[in-house]
Structure 1
Amino acid sequence: MSNPATVIAAGGVVWRERRGTRQVLLVHRPRYDDWSLPKGKLTAHEHILLAARREIEEETGQHVLLGPPLGVQRYPVRRNGSTAQKLVHYWSATPTDDSGFEPNDEVDEIAWLSVDKARSRLSYPRDVDILDALEPAVSVSSTLVLVRHAEAIKRKDWDGKDTVRPLNNAGTAVSERLTGVLAALGANRLISSDAERCVATITPYASSINRHIHLWPEISERGYDADPDGLRGLSERAWAPGRVTVVCSHRPVLPALARELGLKVGKFSTGSFLVAHRLGDGRLVHERFGAS
């Protein structure tokens, strides 16, 4: 008999500051009579960042934005009469709105507690480990999302200028799905190559938040080929304090662009992206994701 597939889940440590005290949000599950961090399994084809945000909101009534990753739990669970591995990914999460908690069969109670009290209330040591990773993650000074444009019509199938070559149907679908991911991260500043395929990748999100896309010809293929030194100085503008900035560019430009931004990246498939957080102490925390 083959081993059951790994169960993938996502959640977060929801935190806020109240009268100089940091509080975190725990959930009580009546089925297990335990106190834990909000989390849940991914639905079919759901991006893991969207799953984390959705599960937090469903279990707590809190609308949140996701910050730096806090770690991954690995432990066995029973599934279909066998034992499977469960992987739970966690992110820092800050509330933006409270739609109201309603007790249900899965979660019948929530509690805002100080970090010390939450540490004592949590039922599982693995949750305490995730909670302990929160402290350095709350000091984010700026966030950068580096994106390779979604899939475009192939060059050989396009008769017009390369700069206006559009996304194909698959690329358009990716750009639509990317909207939810960028919303979960709270992206609020948008920068793109002036090539159509880059602009179109983040246009659905720009429209959803009614934001202008800042065009940077320096990060287009044409602009970079004409003046590779044109990237100098972009880092300071991209790492805007207090902002979550999206930068969309091209495969040939991304290695040089990443170096300018202080990031280490490998190959990017179309529609893939990297999320990097600059912490208050100057350290960078980053993670890569495939096309949404």
Structure 2
Amino acid sequence: MSNPATVIAAGGVVWRERHGTRQVLLVHRPRYDDWSLPKGKLTQHEHVLLAARREIEEETGVQVVLGAPLGVQRYPIRKNGATAEKLVHYWSAVATGGTDFEPNDEVDKIDWLPVDKARSRLSYPRDVDILDALDKVAPVEATLVLVRHAEAVKRKDWDGKDTLRPLNSTGTAVAGRLSEVLAALGADRLISSDAERCTATLSPYAEAIDRKLHLWPEISERGYDADPHGLRGLRDRAWRPGRVTVVCSHRPVLPALQRELGLKVGKFSPGAFLVAHRLANGRLIYERFSAP
């Protein structure tokens, strides 16, 4: 009999500041009579960032946006009569809304606790390790999401101006799913190349939050070819303290954007994105994701 597939789950350390003290949110599970961090399994085809936010909000009733990653737990579980590995991804999760918690069979109690008391309350050392990681990455000073536009109609199949070349059906679907991911990250500033395939990648999210796209022709393929120095100044626009800024551009421009924004980009497939968090000490924390 083959080994059961790895179980993928996601969750977070939900935190807030109260009277100068950081508090974190723990959940009590009656089935195990334990105190743990909110988490749960991904649904089929669900993006891991969406799963983390969904599970946190379902278990606690608290609305959150995700911040820096805190680590991954790996441990064995029983599945279908055999032993499988469970992989749980955790993020810092800033509480943005009030508690609307209703006790249920999965979670019957929640509790906001100062970090030291939460450390003592947690039932598992592995959760303590994740909690301790929070102090190293919170708060985040600024966040930048760099996106390569979603898949577009091929150049050979398009007779119009290249700047007007649209997304294909796959790219349009990715743009819709990306909107949900950007919401989980709390993105609130949108900078895009003026090419249709870039603006269409971010438009679903811009419409969802009623924000305009800030168009930068200089980060389009045409604009960059005309003036490679036109990117100068984007760093200060993109790294805004207290904001989560999204920048959408093109594969040929990404290496130059990497240098201007101080990032390590590498190769991106269509719709892929990088999330970079800048801490108060200047350290950057990166995560890369394929297209949602």
Instruction: State whether TM-score is above 0.5.
Output: yes
Q: TM-score, normalised by structure 2?
A: 0.99
Report deviation, 1:260. 1.0
Partners of 1:265 and 1:187 in 2: CA distance: 19
Q: TM-score, normalised by structure 1?
A: 0.99
Corresponding position of 1:46:
46
Report which stretch shifted further, 41-50 or 92-101: 92-101
Matched, 1:74 2:74: yes
Please show how residues 173-252 of structure 1 align to structure 2 within 5 Å: 173-252=173-252
Partners of 2:109 and 2:133 in 1: CA distance: 24
Please show how residues 92-131 of structure 1 align to structure 2 within 5 Å: 92-131=92-131
Letter in 2 for 1:14: V
Q: Number of aligned pairs? A: 292
CA deviation vs aligned residue, 1:98-156 (integer Å, no higher than 9, x gap) = 25111111001001011000000000000000000001221211100000000000000
Partners of 1:282 and 1:204 in 2: CA distance: 32
Is the partner of 2:116 in helix, strand or coil? helix
**RMSD of aligned alpha carbons:** 0.7
Letter in 2 for 1:126: R
Report which stretch shifted further, 224-233 or 149-158: 224-233
Is the partner of 2:201 in helix, strand or coil? helix
Partners of 2:258 and 2:265 in 1: CA distance: 7
Corresponding position of 1:9:
9
Report deviation, 1:2. 1.5
Letter in 2 for 1:173: A
Partners of 2:86 and 2:203 in 1: CA distance: 36
CA deviation vs aligned residue, 1:10-61 (integer Å, no higher than 9, x gap) = 0000001111111000000011111000000000010100000000000000
Is the partner of 2:143 in helix, strand or coil? strand
Partners of 1:86 and 1:24 in 2: CA distance: 24
Matched, 1:259 2:259: yes
Report deviation, 1:233. 2.2
Letter in 1 for 2:119: R
What is the percentage of aligned positions where both structures have the same residue? 80
Partners of 1:291 and 1:99 in 2: CA distance: 32
- Runs of 4+ aligned structure 1 residues displaced above 2 Å come to none
CA deviation vs aligned residue, 1:229-272 (integer Å, no higher than 9, x gap) = 11122111110111100000000101110121111121100001
Is the partner of 1:191 in helix, strand or coil? strand
Corresponding position of 1:32:
32
Partners of 1:20 and 1:183 in 2: CA distance: 28
Corresponding position of 1:148:
148
Letter in 2 for 1:124: Y
Is the partner of 1:252 in helix, strand or coil? helix
Q: Which runs of 5+ in 1 are unaligned?
A: none
Partners of 2:138 and 2:261 in 1: CA distance: 22
Report deviation, 1:225. 0.9
Letter in 1 for 2:125: P
Partners of 1:283 and 1:99 in 2: CA distance: 32
